[in-house]
Chain A
């Protein structure tokens, strides 16, 4: 079956703009989590959604937000973009909540460059 799908794969935005990234989980997976990956900070957890509700949240400012739809698809939004937001944004899905020890499977990511 199809893996985790993220769109767009690459995008360039200007400082101050906002961006929305989309994620379609593996069929049957109800949990979607988002991560930011940068060379300096590695993989950092943003938030996790399950049944359309945010269940966990990392240590990121309120400019980073997300949501999940009834079909488990998820979007994340970053408002008022800063240069430091340039990163690879990864979406991962799992059957259930990650806190329950469910394996997460990653998408290929969305490369965001802020200029």
Chain B
């Protein structure tokens, strides 16, 4: 079946550096992707989304890039802060989620 996956289960980042979290998807027909952040003990929180007619979308300190040619999605977090420590999921609408990348920010 179709699946969405993240390249790395963990990512350690120095505070202030930029973070890049990657995700590969397999359904070439997918046209909507979402990134979620889940902090310990909480539900997933919507961060940013992107539709297949776009290559890039920017939010506050976050940028999502979509490469449909290689079916790859990435989330870039600028100037990573301790509060960014969480598990990050990519989701392929509808309803397929990656396993998550745990981001740890080092002080």
| Interface of A toward B, CB cutoff 8 Å | 4, 6, 33, 42-43, 45, 48, 56, 58, 90, 97-99, 101-109
Contacts and interface: CB of A to CB of B under 8 A. Distances in A.
A114 to B, nearest CB: 19
B89 A43 contact: yes
Interface of B: 31-32, 34, 36, 42-46, 49, 51, 89, 93-100
Contacts of A97: 94
Secondary structure at chain A's binding surface: helix, strand, loop or mixed? mixed
23 contacts: A4-B43, A6-B43, A33-B95, A42-B97, A42-B100, A43-B44, A43-B97, A43-B100, A45-B96, A45-B97, A56-B95, A58-B95, A90-B43, A98-B95, A101-B31, A101-B32, A101-B51, A102-B93, A103-B34, A103-B46, A104-B34, A106-B45, A109-B43
4 closest A-B pairs by CB: A98-B94, A106-B43, A101-B32, A43-B97
Nearest to A88: B43
A33 B99 CA distance: 19
